[in-house]
Amino acid sequence: MQYFSKTIIEVQQNTLKRVDFIVEKAKFFLQYSTQLNNRQQKVLLRVFEAGYTGFIGGLSSEKYTKIAKTSSSTATTNLKDLVDKGILTKRNFKKYSF
């Protein structure tokens, strides 16, 4: 009985995290959608697909290039724009995060 109770509580907590994440995602796109170009929207949607656990390994310009199917210079420019808008922060030399 204790096992099932613990499992139910864990599932409820996980569900609440998912719901909170979905609500925050919706708020984010309501706030920023008009400020993002199509490539930025595509990449950020892909990042959000990772869910509340996060985008593994962070977002590099190399990953951005592959997701957006764009050049590395465009990826760097778009990432800098996202940092300038306060959407991403630069974690280290190559990685970005929310």
Global pTM value: 0.77
Could you give the CA distance from residue 91 to residue 98 in angstroms, rounded to a whole number? 9
The number of residues making up the chain comes to 98
Q: Where are the alpha helices (DSSP H) in the chain?
A: 2-32, 38-49, 61-68, 72-84
For the record, the structure tokens of 38 come out as: 């199509």
At 95, is the secondary structure helix, strand, or coil? strand
Inter-CA distances, 81 with 20, 56, 96, Å:
27, 22, 12
For residues 65 and 75, the answer to whether their CB atoms sit within 8 Å is: yes
Looking at the 3D structure of the chain, how many domains does it have? 1
Average pLDDT over every residue of 83-87 = 94
Q: Which domain holds residue 46?
A: 2-97
CATH code where residue 80 lies: 1.10.10
Taking only the tens place, the pLDDT of each residue in 22-77 is 999 999 999 998 999 999 999 999 999 888 777 888 898 999 999 999 999 999 99
